[in-house]
Copies of this chain bind each other. A is one copy, B any other.
Amino acid sequence: MKKIELIGLDGIGEVHRGDSVGQLICDACERQQLALADGDVLVVAQKIISKAEGRMVALATVEPSARARELARELDKEAELIEVILGESRQVIRTGGRAMIVETHHGFICANAGVDQSNVGLKQVALLPKDADRSAREIRGEILRRTGKQVGVIVSDSFGRAWRVGTVDVAVGVAGMAPIKDERGLKDRHGYELKAAVAAVADELASAAELVMGKRDGVPVVVIRGYDIQIKEEGSVRELLRPAAEDLFR
């Protein structure tokens, strides 16, 4: 019987600039008497990493450009917010209704460049971490130092999708594991050679963790136990980004 557990980590509490998220996680595991094991995956909500890394902007300090003011009128949003989004964006992919879909400097295509107003305090916004692979590696390193255990780490955020309603959580940073499981060329039980069998397992792990996190429940870290990760020292979220030349929907 295959079985996977998704375990919410309690008591991380409010995270402040300069905090070590890795230390907060190790402390919370100790309080919860949860001994991390080799092959566990830790999914960490982007928000607490952005707070720890100081990736917060007070909208009152932002001076909107002419372009931001124009887009703000078109989309019925605050010009200061649009200015922040444009600063995080490589290009605007689509606008329509109140939606603004951009490509971030990291290469993510998502609404509002991942800039988020929830759970950060009024009149503030949280930006995505500058390099969430690095953030994930730092957490992984801290866990290795404290516990001697080799875990995979995923930094997650909630992204909308084309064609379907609602968000699902996906990986925006990865450390210590392969984010995709590629079974192309292997054969199924009938001898058919699999052609499309590339599963975005880091995204699926992030989505699974969201079921425990929720949007308002204050559970920013989930331990996933029992999933057979493929250990990969140099694993990166970049492996999940489809090259523009191969993308039919830009």
Interface residues of chain A, those whose CB is within 8 Å of chain B, are: 1-8, 10, 32, 94, 96-97, 99, 101, 108-109, 111, 117-122, 158, 160-170, 180-181, 183, 186, 188-192, 194-201, 203-205, 207-208, 210-212, 215-219, 226-227, 239-242, 246-250
Contact = CB atoms under 8 A, between A and B. Distances in A.
Given A122-B192, A162-B248, A205 B199 contact: no
B165 A204 contact: no
A165 B240 contact: yes
Contacts of A181: 166
A5 B2 contact: no
A99 B153 CA distance: 32
B204 A210 contact: yes
Contact of A216 (B188, B205, B217): B188
Contacts of A167: 196, 198-200
Contacts of A239: 165
Given A3-B5, A186-B216, A198 B247 contact: no
Given A120-B190, A180-B166, A249-B249, A32 B1 contact: yes
A122 B190 contact: yes
A163 B169 CA distance: 15
A215 B189 contact: no
A3 B34 CA distance: 12
Contacts of A164: 170, 200, 203, 240-242
Contacts of A207: 168, 203-204, 207-208
The 10 closest A-B pairs by CB, nearest first: A166-B200, A208-B208, A2-B8, A162-B249, A207-B207, A204-B207, A109-B163, A94-B248, A4-B6, A166-B198
15 contacts: A3-B8, A4-B6, A97-B246, A111-B196, A117-B195, A120-B190, A120-B192, A122-B190, A163-B249, A164-B242, A168-B200, A168-B203, A188-B216, A204-B208, A249-B249
